[in-house]
Amino acid sequence: MGVVSNGHNLKFFIDGAWVDPVVPRTLDVIDPATEEPFAAIAVGAAADVDKAVAAAKAAFATFSTTSREERLALLRRILAAYNERAEDLAQAVSREMGAPITLARKSQVASGQGHLEATIEALENFTFEEQRGTTRILREPIGVAGLITPWNWPLNQIVCKVAPAIAAGCTVVLKPSEVAPLNAIIFAEVIEAAGVPAGVFNLVNGTGEDVGQVISGHPDVDFVSFTGSTRAGVIVARTAADTVKRVAQELGGKSANIVLPDADFEVAIKKGVLGCYGNSGQSCNAPTRLLVPADRHEEALEIARKVVESVTVGDPRDENTTHGPVVSAVQFDKIQKLIEAGISEGATLVAGGPGRPEGLSRGYYVRPTVFGNVTNDMAIAREEIFGPVLTILPYKDEDEAIRITNDTVYGLAGYVQSQDIEHARKVARRIRAGAIYLNYPEWDTHAPFGGYKQSGNGREYADWGIHDFLEIKGVPGWG
């Protein structure tokens, strides 16, 4: 199969060595294309977290004093080792979370590579000290960082936390998602191959309850960076509050995509549909609410319907597949319930619907679905579906489009389509979200990523990510 790591699935990586759990327990890893287990991992508990945190705390005393040049050399070695394991990483991601193998190579694995490159570039020019009058401002590593990452873009989120932590001089304890953990085990092998000093990076697999919450509340963890659902993010923040540690959260989203009247309608709708469906709809910043002028609503529905016909859902191992299954039975069932809710609430079912696509009798495959005539009070417009389900909402004028866009508890991303870039910029300023994408730009690993409102706090990517792992010290009288 080529995705199992070098005999380390039943071990954790702590203090530079592969170690057995304190109390042996295992968890199956399910292939979402077959619904069958294909591997097992060790899952940890508080005693394993204690060992990992102790190793990170001991390593911090030395690693926090390393020079920029030493950390740059280390990140470059990690990048080289990562690139050597790129195909292993792609095979793991494809098998464990259902990403089509082409997407796994070109996007999932490539995102980690992009973050390493961006962090290296950011570190080369980062300002750790500055003088203000007679006061020296020092930016110092915050300490031991607990990193809790999700299954949907696993390498993207692991690397955009680990790389800036190392750049800042922090040591880390990583808990990846237990749903898609094999890529993280291979990443730990990358860390080992790159010669990262013992204790700087530690990996403990397990559940949110048994490992994630322990990390969040651990008195020797100084900072927690969490990516996942808003519900889980609230638990992390509450758990961390007792030790008054800083928490950065990248949480859920329900991002609106405003197609302004002057946009190239065919292009804007087509890219909007495919943008929503990317990664089988399992992206927190997906443009899931498509807002179109009311007098062109029917036209938008017809374009969307034709786009859905071009989508190929199937076996993620097939290089011609564009869309694979969703990750788990839990996700599949949630999506099915929300599709049923859309129908019962009176939205127009334009394409897709409940059940699996034709010809697929097993696997967590969802029919790419489009709803029209959606109002913003419907469940499908308010809840994060996290599947290939697009809602199309008509608006009568620009002010109403902005009001609908901002009428959500989330604020992770927004999208604006217009042939008048000045107009698009003005609309972007009115959207309450952390990242606004104008006319479907290329992905930018140097742009800040993070949310407003219940989509979280803190920012990731490049120098923005490094800042999250630093404390600020003022030294008046420096001279």
250 is annotated as an active-site residue: yes
Distance separating alpha carbons of residues 194 and 86, to the nearest angstrom: 14
Selection from 196, 10, 166, 132 nearest residue 475 by Cα: 132
Q: Where are the alpha helices (DSSP H) in 64-206?
A: 68-84, 86-97, 101-103, 110-124, 154-168, 182-193
Amino acid, single-letter form, for residue 163:
A
Amino acid, single-letter form, for residue 444:
D
- Token duo for residue 449: 């990523």
117 is annotated as an active-site residue: no
Secondary structure (3-state) at 433: coil
User: What's phi and psi for 23, nearest 5 deg?
Assistant: -120, 110
- Sign, CA dihedral 456-155-273-354, equals negative
Amino acid, single-letter form, for residue 434:
G
Cβ-contact 218, 211 below 8 angstroms: no
Selection from 217, 226, 212, 213 nearest residue 245 by Cα: 217
**77: which strand partners?**
none
Selection from 407, 441, 321 nearest residue 33 by Cα: 321
Q: What is the DSSP string of 437-458?
A: EESSPPP-TTS-B--SGGGEES
Residues 6+ apart with CB under 8 A from 167: 71, 75, 119, 120, 122, 123, 126, 465, 466, 469
Element (H, E) at 144: strand 144-148
Which residue shows structure tokens 């989120």? 157
- C-alpha triplet 110, 272, 89: angle, nearest 5°: 20
Selection from 207, 363, 227, 234 nearest residue 283 by Cα: 227
The residue annotated as part of the active site, out of 250, 276, 384, 460, is: 250
The residue annotated as part of the active site, out of 160, 170, 276, 284, is: 284
Cβ-contact 202, 14 below 8 angstroms: yes
Buried b / exposed e across 248-283, counting CB within 10 Å, b at 16+? Answer: bbbbbbbbbbbbbeebebeebbbbbbbbbbbbbbbb
Q: What residues act catalytically? A: 250, 284
